[in-house]
């Protein structure tokens, strides 16, 4: 067989950190996404004093929001949330070691995420199940939700399934099959990378989905099973290794199937906390609530996403409410 010198090599298929790109395979009914996060995920996770298992869970939620959000053609925000029984972001604590984990991706802007947890319960779960017990052990019984928010002009859409998979990836796979009859396979990896005396969080994820077609065609089933078998050879080390770029990974997996990629898109960390906006929010609180939040004469408000503590003088807040 003659060598096709026009076929892309591994270094032509993408190689940047903090990026996401889509891919397709020639003549096969499969599409996919690969995300690689370096400084962005390190900034998100290092802002909090998370136990390793909670940091990993939060990183997985961020990866999911990025992979799924980037695959959807819409302008807005994709929110991923997994919560234990009776838990919600308003502060009600669930029964699990982690009450909830939430992450979102906004098209053209970036990603963010955080988790609420009980440190003693997390310690007990890690002691029983190891340093990476997974979503089901950390959250307990609960729900996995995916919300699409396209702004004030459109009502948000939310789909919810039970949290009955061992990992967030498994919950997302179950969600797509139950809600859209869409065969999906997802791999997520989060870990610390050591370089000399320094260490930093890294994350990598990949997703494949069967394209909509004739579900009765056995050949399409066989095609997807072929791609899934190759995809399943991917391990955490490959997804986290900075030397194994997106291009090298896709080339190893699918070069015989004619893998074609879209342009890589840069991923940034985003947060909506901003001084004027927060002052307006505080101005809407009753005075007694603002007094309770005061420390050394300043009203203190900490962003749950980026963990930044904002301090405002009472007269600043009052002026913002006029």
What is the domain partition of the chain in residue ranges? Answer: 17-266, 275-320
2 pLDDT exceeds 50? no
- Asked whether 87 and 93 are in contact (CB, 8 A), the reply is yes
Highest mean pLDDT among 56-60, 259-263, 287-291: 56-60
Q: How far apart are CA 96 and CA 250, in angstroms?
A: 37
What is the structure's pLDDT at 10?
A: 62
Q: How far apart are the first and last CA of the chain?
A: 76
Q: Indicate whether 8 pLDDT > 80.
A: no
Q: Which residues are within 8 A (CB) of 4 and not within 5 positions of it... i.e. 6 or more apart?
A: none
Assign 87 a pLDDT band (cuts: 50, 70, 90).
low
pLDDT at res. 218: 56
Report residue 193 as tokens. Answer: 């990378």
* Residue with the two structure tokens 């992979």: 67
Rg (CA), the chain: 22
Work out the widest C-alpha separation in the chain, in whole angstroms. 79
What mean pLDDT comes out for the span 203-207?
98
| pLDDT tops 80 at residue 322 | no
Closest CA to 63 of 311, 239, 255, 277: 239
Q: Which of 33, 18, 85 shows the shortest CA–CA distance to 64?
A: 33
Is-same-fold flag (17-266; 275-320)?
Answer: no
Pick the CATH number of 275-320 from 3.30.70.360, 3.40.50.300, 3.90.1280.10, 3.40.470.10: 3.90.1280.10
Query: What CA–CA distance (Å, rounded) separates 281 from 213?
Result: 48
- SS3 state of residue 199: strand
Measured CA to CA, the distance from residue 29 to residue 45 in angstroms comes to 36
Query: Yes or no: is domain 17-266 CATH 1.10.10.10?
Result: no
């Amino acid at each position: 067989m003659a060598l096709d010198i026009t076929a892309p090599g591994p270094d032509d298929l993408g190689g940047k950190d903090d990026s996401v790109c889509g891919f397709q395979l020639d003549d096969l009914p499969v599409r996919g996404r690969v995300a690689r996060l370096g400084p962005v995920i390190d900034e998100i996770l290092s802002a909090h004093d998370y136990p390793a298992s909670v940091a990993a869970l939060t990183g997985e939620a961020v990866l999911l929001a990025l992979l799924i959000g980037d695959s959807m053609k819409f302008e807005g925000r994709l929110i991923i949330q997994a919560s234990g029984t009776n838990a919600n972001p308003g502060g009600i604590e669930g029964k699990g070691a982690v009450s909830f984990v939430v992450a979102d991706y906004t098209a053209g802007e970036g990603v963010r995420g955080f988790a609420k947890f009980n440190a003693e319960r997390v310690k007990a779960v890690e002691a029983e199940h190891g340093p990476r017990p997974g979503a089901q052990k950390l959250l307990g019984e609960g729900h996995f939700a995916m919300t699409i928010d396209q702004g004030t002009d459109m009502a948000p859409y939310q789909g919810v399934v039970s949290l009955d998979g061992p990992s967030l990836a498994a919950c997302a796979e179950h969600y797509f099959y139950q809600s859209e009859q869409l065969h999906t396979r997802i791999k997520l990896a989060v870990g610390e990378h050591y370089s000399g005396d320094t260490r930093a969080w890294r994350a990598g994820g990949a997703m494949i989905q069967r394209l909509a077609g004739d579900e009765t065609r056995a050949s399409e089933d066989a095609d997807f099973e072929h791609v899934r078998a190759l995809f399943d050879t991917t391990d955490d080390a490959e997804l986290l290794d900075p030397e194994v770029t997106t291009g090298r990974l896709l080339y190893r997996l699918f070069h015989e199937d004619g893998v074609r990629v879209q342009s890589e898109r840069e991923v940034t960390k985003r947060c909506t906390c901003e001084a004027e906006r927060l002052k307006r929010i505080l101005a809407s609180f009753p005075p007694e609530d603002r007094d309770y939040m005061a420390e050394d004469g300043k009203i203190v408000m900490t962003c749950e996403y980026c963990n930044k503590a904002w301090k405002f003088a009472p007269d600043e807040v009052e002026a913002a409410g006029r």
